[in-house]
Structure 1
Amino acid sequence: MNTQPVADLPSAIDRALDGRSILVLPRTREAAITEVAPSQWTGDGRAPALVLFTSGSTGTAKAVALSAEALTTSARATERSLSGPGDWHLSLPINHIAGFQVELRARLAGPEPIRSASATFTAGSFADEAQQLFARSGERPTYTSLVPTQLHRILADDRATVAAAKFDAILLGGSAISPALLERADARGLHIVRTYGMSETAGGCVYNGVPFDGVEIAITESSTIDLRGRVVADSYVEITAEGRIGPIDNPGLTINDDGTRTIHTSDLGRLDEGVLTVLGRSDDIIVSGGTNVSPHALETGLLPTWQHHGIAEVLVTWVPDEEWGKLLVALVRIDAQAPDTVVGSIGSPREFARRLGGLDHGMHGHLLPRLVFPVTEIPNRSIGKPDRQAAARLAVELAETENHRVPSPEYPNK
């Protein structure tokens, strides 16, 4: 493999789309992008244009092969869904599909994106980079792609918020989006487009609940989401030590006799008159006292009320418990601008849980967190998705500190 520096990524994208190389994105944002000769492909048919790794949010990361057709179909569909080709700001890591798609869309539209020069996203750097973008874009539309954690930071800074409101569209995805966050963004004049998709669909393929043209959504009998269409990956692959790339069978990604590809996700969802609502992941379900609990449903249900009582973010997890099997726990980030009376009245984790649980949040009748721990940062993976395994480990550590002695949870290999 020949290492391809990020500075040459636009030309490397051209080679990959033309079939002259295979781009392989690294597992981590610090590692180098590599190019592989198409002759290293051991599968049938044309070599893929891109290989990248899933986020691994529910287990081991998988390598995904995407064709040039899937990538460009997605990028052109984004243009049609927004205001046409435009200028892009990049603040996401390019080893994930959301960041790579910003690079690809920019390449197809012409100008390179304004790339964040900061290793850590800050509201100040975002505002500075946005001004650079606006200064050069002229009459062209301007876009950026964010995850909810970044949007939280932007909305806490007036200058960044003013800059964000000037974008023609802000794609927002990567993890669950609280209604409270969307309400705050709307009140400040931000043009948010909620996206749903994954590595296996070449990025977001459902905008504000509506699929791209050519993308079909089906809800299975188990309420999980199937996605079908030209944006779906060719296959999962394995990469040998010698750099050979070959497809591997996986029941999560299937191809019909007519060549139509379907990704069978673990996401729960429902369709209302063709509009998709994502309800969380089936493999995130917590069984507490014999009751199935969706952490996503709790998070989105509780936060709109909790936000008015000093809570900026919430992630629901669990700790082992003799009575409940899994005791529900909430990790919360306190709003930096919350009144001192909120911070001073936290009390013990059980007292804090009782106080927040007693608010008029509309979730009565549901199992609620029995412990609430304030944390500096909600555990997230690099793309902004909640790291639920890390959250569960952190919850155990915090519970032990509070003299709730529990054993460390064991996670099955996935």
Structure 2
Amino acid sequence: MRLEAIDAQDPRAVLRALRGAVLGSGPAVALGGRVAAPATDVPAGTALIVTTSGSTGYPKSVALSRAALTSGALATAARIGEGAWLLALPAGYIAGAQVLVRALVSGREPAVLSGTFSPAAFAAAAAGMASSVGGTRVPAFTSLVPAQVATLLDSPEGARALASFEAVLVGGQALAPALAERAAAAGARLVRTYGSSETAGGCVYDGVPLDGVGVRIAAGEVQVSGPTLADGYLDDPDRTAATFLREDGVRWYRTGDAGSFDGVLRVTGRFDNVIVSGGINVSLDRVEAVVRTLPGLVAAAVVPVADARWGEASVVIAEAGPRTPPLAEIRAAVETAIGVAARPRAIIRIDRMPLLPSGKPDRSALRELAALRESDPDKG
């Protein structure tokens, strides 16, 4: 099957291309990056190639079939209901592309938020979606990242618009409890999603797998099965074989996340986001989860730094604000929740959090910033 690269900055172009790839006979769509030269053709049934570096900077081109994309869309409708969709995320990432796929599968044209994301733009797009069929209101849905939710809740106009949706899928990173409580108080119905490009977007909602999706914990790692799984990585058979396992006829995706599952999935962090401080393993995801429960630190990030005495330590990076607590309070909260070895060494206050186009914190940039500040506190 032929593969066509699409300008991911043009959501209407992405929508047109996905219409052909998902509902028609192709060609397959390449989004989010430069596809390797030999990959001008892809296996039959492929609908979408999403190339992303994520927060680690390691590029990967994930191949998704029509069946995987439509399975995710149909399972979402079965879980939260059918209706109209608003695209408020970059179309070049799986979360944004899947919003468009859901709209295509539902047979409704999606609304698209144009230009820079802001409460005013979001509210205008939401207002333009109001419609009814036979006198019955058509429910509206959208998908956001936590930073967008926080931006909307900081504005009365944005908060009202957020509450007008039947449900708002929120993924990309952990949703801080304080932010979830603010949204609920504003009347918004947030649905926490868990998934990745390899699972065609969110496949676990509020901890519960979508219909057809399997979850297991193997050696502490979250693994996922089901019809939404990607076919693998384009032109990378070794990585595909290492990441997608087949056991007793079932294909499992190794997420790299640590967690537990007793009918409800609880993700505790990344296996690759662990430091060894004074000989003790410390999950920075757990540290960050505790830090984000404190006032003024809902969107803070925790990153590793070298430490002459302990080997490794962590620092908190947060946007400066009047409610930011002192370091002593942060360290006390982390010590109580996790232990002495997990206490952050410092807090770095910045004017604006660097974000990836997906809305996630740019952790590569944050690590560089932390290293710079540690080597020379007068810089940065």
Relative to the length of structure 1, the TM-score reads 0.81
Quote how far apart the aligned CAs of 1:109 are: 1.5
SS at match of 1:121: coil
1:29-84 Cα offsets, whole Å, 9 max, x none, are: xxxxx9xxx9923x5xx341111113432341211111111110000000011122
In the alignment, which residue of structure 1 is the partner of 2:121?
125
Contact 1:295 1:315 in 2 (8 A): no
2:94 partner amino acid = I
In the alignment, which residue of structure 2 is the partner of 1:26?
32
Match of 2:330 among 340, 356, 375: 356
- Find out whether 1:101 has 2:102 as its counterpart: no
2-structure distance, mates of 1:108, 1:54: 25
1:359-391 Cα offsets, whole Å, 9 max, x none, are: 698426342111001112233322122332221
Question: Which segments of 5 or more consecutive residues in structure 2 lack a partner in the other structure?
Answer: none
In the alignment, which residue of structure 1 is the partner of 2:138?
140
Match of 2:267 among 278, 285, 290: 278
SS at match of 2:235: strand
Match of 1:331 among 299, 317, 322: 317
Contact 1:53 1:63 in 2 (8 A): yes
In the alignment, which residue of structure 2 is the partner of 1:411?
none
CA shift in 2, pair 1:3/1:325, >3 Å: closer
1-structure distance, mates of 2:275, 2:238: 33
1:90 partner amino acid = L
1-structure distance, mates of 2:96, 2:132: 21
Listed as ranges, the matches of 1:195-210 within 5 Å are 195-210=193-208
Quote how far apart the aligned CAs of 1:289 are: 1.8
Contact 2:152 2:159 in 1 (8 A): yes
Which stretch shifts more, 209-218 or 289-298?
289-298
1-structure distance, mates of 2:161, 2:28: 37
2-structure distance, mates of 1:49, 1:257: 27
2-structure distance, mates of 1:109, 1:365: 49
Quote how far apart the aligned CAs of 1:254 are: 2.9
2:343 partner amino acid = L
CA shift in 2, pair 1:9/1:285, >3 Å: same
Listed as ranges, the matches of 1:260-275 within 5 Å are 260-272=250-262, 274-275=263-264
1:380 partner amino acid = L
SS at match of 2:216: strand
2-structure distance, mates of 1:151, 1:60: 28
1:126-160 Cα offsets, whole Å, 9 max, x none, are: 11211112257861110010001111111111110
SS at match of 1:76: helix
In the alignment, which residue of structure 2 is the partner of 1:155?
153
In the alignment, which residue of structure 1 is the partner of 2:339?
365
Match of 1:227 among 224, 228, 234: 224
2-structure distance, mates of 1:161, 1:48: 39
1:235-264 Cα offsets, whole Å, 9 max, x none, are: 11139xxxxxx9974301234574x43211
Quote how far apart the aligned CAs of 1:26 are: 2.8
1-structure distance, mates of 2:144, 2:53: 16
Quote how far apart the aligned CAs of 1:355 are: 4.0
Relative to the length of structure 2, the TM-score reads 0.88
SS at match of 2:90: coil
2:98 partner amino acid = Q
Which stretch shifts more, 53-62 or 67-76?
53-62
1:301 partner amino acid = V
Contact 2:130 2:138 in 1 (8 A): no
In the alignment, which residue of structure 2 is the partner of 1:16?
21
Superposition CA RMSD, Å: 2.7
Q: What's the % identity of the aligned pairs?
A: 36
In the alignment, which residue of structure 1 is the partner of 2:88?
91
Contact 1:143 1:167 in 2 (8 A): yes
2-structure distance, mates of 1:109, 1:116: 19
Contact 1:311 1:334 in 2 (8 A): no
SS at match of 1:329: strand
Which stretch shifts more, 52-61 or 148-157?
52-61
1:132 partner amino acid = G
CA shift in 2, pair 1:152/1:166, >3 Å: same
1-structure distance, mates of 2:307, 2:355: 25
1-structure distance, mates of 2:98, 2:139: 17
CA shift in 2, pair 1:363/1:72, >3 Å: same
Contact 1:302 1:361 in 2 (8 A): no
1:153-194 Cα offsets, whole Å, 9 max, x none, are: 111111100110110000000012111111111111110000
Contact 1:238 1:247 in 2 (8 A): no
SS at match of 1:263: strand
SS at match of 2:174: coil
SS at match of 2:137: coil
In the alignment, which residue of structure 2 is the partner of 1:176?
174
2-structure distance, mates of 1:256, 1:16: 31
In the alignment, which residue of structure 2 is the partner of 1:297?
286
Matched positions, count: 368
Which stretch shifts more, 227-236 or 354-363?
354-363
